[in-house]
């Protein structure tokens, strides 16, 4: 595992980029297929980010997947809220925020989770 640590950042970069690509496809044509791809990309990040030592990315990705999962199938998932999640993940990754106690990242996560709760209510 220790020998693979150096590759974690590269692997996570690929997953973050894939999430952005899925967001772009969904924004261009919000279909059930594009929605499913976006969900899977978020779900993959949620599952892998902790292993890659980015727990705050896992938290934001979890919020994104809840948003997609709990939005009624016939409704479009709010693009602005998707964008906020994708941007947060990109910033956390870019700034290498690995601590669950990072104040700024924690506030950001709480705000995203609150907006998701409102959107799906």
What is the pLDDT confidence band of residue 10, given thresholds at 50, 70 and 90?
A: confident
DSSP H or E segment with residue 26 = helix 5-28
What pLDDT, in 10s, does the model give residues 58-97? 999 999 999 999 998 878 899 999 999 999 999 999 999 9
Residue 101 has pLDDT above 60, yes or no: yes
Provide the CATH number for the domain around residue 13.
Answer: 1.20.120.160
Could you give the count of Cα atoms lying within 13 Å of 73 in the half-sphere of its Cβ? Answer: 3
Segment 96-103 mean pLDDT: 93
Could you give the count of Cα atoms lying within 13 Å of 2 in the half-sphere of its Cβ? Answer: 0
Number of domains in the chain: 1
Helices (H) and strands (E) in the chain, counts: 5, 0
What pLDDT, in 10s, does the model give residues 11-49? 899 999 999 999 999 999 999 999 999 999 999 999 999
CA–CA gap between residue 51 and residue 87 (Å, rounded): 21
Q: What is the pLDDT of residue 95?
A: 95
Domain that holds residue 24: 2-120
- The token duo for 112 is 């995203």
């Amino acid at each position: 595992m220790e020998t693979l640590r150096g590759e974690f950042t590269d692997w996570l970069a690929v997953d973050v980029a894939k999430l952005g690509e899925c967001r772009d496809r969904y924004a261009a044509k919000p279909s059930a297929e594009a929605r499913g791809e976006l969900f899977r990309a978020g779900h993959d990040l949620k599952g892998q980010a902790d292993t890659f030592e980015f727990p705050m990315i896992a938290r934001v990705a979890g919020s994104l997947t809840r948003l997609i999962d709990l939005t009624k199938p016939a409704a479009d998932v709010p693009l602005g809220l998707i964008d906020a999640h994708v941007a947060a993940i990109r910033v956390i990754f870019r700034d290498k925020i690995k601590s669950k106690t990072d104040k700024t990242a924690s506030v950001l996560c709480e705000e995203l989770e609150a907006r998701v709760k409102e959107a799906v209510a």
